Amino acid sequence: MGEENAVTFEMIAKALFENYECIYDIDLNSYRYKTYFQSETYRELKLSREGENFFEALPNGRINRIRKIFD
């Protein structure tokens, strides 16, 4: 039964993530971040999956790189 529940959870998670390019977990006290999901397109950006400060990481060209993929 445990394996069956794990498969069901995995199917639900994939269905939820289907409409997103990336899902981050950001600690709002320290700003450390970790990626839980990246779409194939988002993975092509080769961005760090985790880091020390999410908000400092964005201006370093990451926003422009993200825009290039979706333009």
Res 61 pLDDT > 60: no
Res 42 pLDDT > 60: yes
Residue 35 lies in a domain: yes
| DSSP H helical ranges for the chain | 2-17, 40-43, 54-57, 63-70
Question: What domain count does the chain have?
Answer: 1
Residue 2 lies in a domain: no
pLDDT band at 52 (very low <50, low <70, confident <90, very high): very high
Residue 4 lies in a domain: no
